[in-house]
Amino acid sequence: MALDLREGDYLVAGGKEYPIRSCAAWAWERGRAARRLMTVTASTKRAPALSSGRRGELVAVLTGIKCTPLDPIDPELRQRLDLRTPHELLGTFVDGGDTYYALVLEDLKR
């Protein structure tokens, strides 16, 4: 079962929303062991299509997904992805059932 995750969605963890800056399928060889590392329960939100008439309001898309704790990404990955932002970038891995996803999130300091 593949998850409907994409750049521009928001990952919601610990009551805070993080914009997804990069999303890629990840081949993780240690499936069962990897699931033990996924201790955070999160959900996702997405801006509705403009035709729905609900502008500016985010809508929950996925709930109860498991992911690893959010950690700062290393400078080399930031450079490789060419993400130019003054905000901190965080990384996490999400369990999609038969596929894992590597996400890069933006921590907007407010």
Query: Beta-carbon neighbour count of residue 84 at 10 Å?
Result: 7
d(CA 59, CA 37): 28
pTM: 0.80
Q: Mean pLDDT in runs of 10 for the chain (110 residues)? A: 85 94 82 83 85 66 92 77 73 89 84
Residue 94: the pLDDT is: 93
* Core vs surface per residue 39-66: b (16+ CB within 10 A) or e: ebebebbbeeeeeeeeeeeeeebbeebe
Q: Is 79 helix (H, G, I), strand (E, B) or coil?
A: helix
Residue carrying the six token digits 């996702």: 44
Domain spans, the chain: 10-107
Residue 26: the pLDDT is: 85
